[in-house]
């Protein structure tokens, strides 16, 4: 949907994943979409250089998210929200509808 | 100007002025502004310059190499100084808002362009608001103590960022330092 604008299907999927999942690490996204890890890493690093994403270390993992200080964050999120409406339900459920609320330890999923 | 033993402020002046003379406009932001506005009560080793237009990293790298800097990852480093220099993509903004008033510090015929003290406080508060970074809050309080800050403007901006409740929680700390 946003490929003409972003010039990359992968970039669109990365942004949608981060928008719907909050934070994520490159390997997680690469695994979800079966992308090469290096491609995902490069896209995310470029988005970070551009100020669109932030990253932080948690333990040994570098987590990325949409930068709350990015001046066009609201507009970007509105665009991503609209994009989600055009995504098939199956795809939406598989990649972009994570369970974000907590679940107590030991409780079956 | 020699790089060895140079202060953060003088290095910032040197780089900003050198790039401006090569048609690259930058503005110093982040912790380096806190260092400058608190006369080094807070010590930063990061010089974060925001570019005012898109310039290739290659061009900046090549210019700074003439001053003796080498690229280390995303930073530029000079062996005679502990400071790290980084260039951030435009636009110059604090949260959602563009910055229109830029402060200047002059040394001889050289000019450093940097955030105003009030924008420096907002910049630090943005990190506190969005990431709960209490070190940034402490830095904002320090800048308030040493400079004339427009707290009404800080309040207006905080509300615009949707952070009125957080601002209400810290405003006394900011005022107490004034």
Residues near B51 by beta carbon (within 8 Å), at least 6 away in sequence: B24, B25, B26, B87, B88, B89, B90
A-B CB pairs within 8 A amount to: 21
pLDDT reading at B178 higher than 60: no
Choose among B142, B92, B151, B91: nearest CA to B118: B151
pLDDT reading at B37 higher than 70: yes
Q: How far is A60 from chain B (nearest CA, A)?
A: 19
Percentage of residues of chain B with pLDDT beyond 70: 98
Q: What per-residue confidence (pLDDT) applies to B58?
A: 93
What is the C-alpha to C-alpha distance for residues B154 and B99, in angstroms, rounded to an integer?
13
| Higher pLDDT, residue A35 or A6 | A35
Rounded to an integer, the average pLDDT of B126-140 is 94
> Pick from A49, A51, A69: which is nearest to B95 by CB?
A69
B44 — phi, psi (to 5°)?
-115, 145
Residues in chain B: 178
Tokens of B171: 């405003």
Q: Does domain A3-86 have CATH number 3.30.300.20?
A: no
Any CB–CB contact under 8 A between A68 and chain B?
yes
The pTM of the whole model exceeds 0.95: no
What is the C-alpha to C-alpha distance for residues B84 and B78, in angstroms, rounded to an integer?
8
Choose from A71, A72, A74 for mutation: most chain B CBs within 10 A: A71
Percentage of residues of chain B with pLDDT beyond 90: 89
pLDDT reading at A40 higher than 70: yes
Rounded to an integer, the average pLDDT of B122-144 is 95
CB contact (8 A) between residue B89 and residue A49: yes
Chain A CB contacts of B94 under 8 Å are 69
Q: What per-residue confidence (pLDDT) applies to B60?
A: 96
Q: What per-residue confidence (pLDDT) applies to A102?
A: 80
In the structure, what pLDDT confidence band is assigned to residue A47 with cuts at 50, 70 and 90?
very high
ipTM higher than threshold 0.95: no
pLDDT reading at A66 higher than 90: yes
- The domain ranges of chain A are 3-86
Q: How far is B108 from chain A (nearest CA, A)?
A: 34
Task: Tell me if residue A56 falls in helix, strand or coil.
Answer: strand
pLDDT, tens digit, for every residue of B84-107? 999 999 999 998 899 989 999 999
CB distance A18 to A84 below 8 Å? no
Burial class (CB in 10 A: 0-12, 13-18, 19+), A43: buried
Residues near B128 by beta carbon (within 8 Å), at least 6 away in sequence: B134, B136, B137, B140, B166, B170
Residue of B nearest to A75 (CA): B96
């Amino acid at each position: 949907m946003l490929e003409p604008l972003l010039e990359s299907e992968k970039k669109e999927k990365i942004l949608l994943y981060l928008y719907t999942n909050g934070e994520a690490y490159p390997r997680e996204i690469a695994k979800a979409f079966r992308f090469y890890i290096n491609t995902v890493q490069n896209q995310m690093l470029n988005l970070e250089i551009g100020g669109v994403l932030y990253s932080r270390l948690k333990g040994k993992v570098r987590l990325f998210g949409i930068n709350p200080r990015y001046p066009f964050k609201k507009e970007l999120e509105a665009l991503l929200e609209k994009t989600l409406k055009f995504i098939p339900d199956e795809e939406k459920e598989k990649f972009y509808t994570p369970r974000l609320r907590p679940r107590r330890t030991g409780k079956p999923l | 100007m020699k790089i060895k033993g140079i202060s953060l402020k003088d290095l910032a002046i040197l780089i900003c002025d050198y790039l401006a003379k090569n048609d690259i406009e930058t503005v110093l932001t982040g912790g380096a502004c806190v260092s400058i506005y608190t006369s080094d009560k807070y010590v930063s080793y990061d010089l974060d310059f925001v570019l005012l237009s898109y310039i290739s990293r290659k061009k900046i790298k090549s210019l700074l190499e003439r001053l003796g800097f080498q690229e280390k990852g995303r930073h530029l480093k000079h062996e005679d100084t502990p400071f790290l220099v980084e260039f951030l993509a435009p636009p110059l903004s604090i949260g959602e808002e563009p910055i229109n008033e830029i402060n200047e510090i002059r040394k001889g015929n050289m000019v450093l362009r940097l955030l105003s003290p009030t924008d420096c406080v907002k910049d630090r508060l943005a990190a506190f608001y969005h990431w709960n970074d209490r070190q940034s809050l402490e830095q904002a309080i320090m800048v308030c103590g040493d400079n004339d800050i427009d707290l009404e403007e800080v309040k207006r901006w905080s509300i615009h960022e949707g952070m009125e409740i957080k601002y209400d929680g810290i405003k006394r700390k900011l005022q107490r330092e004034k």
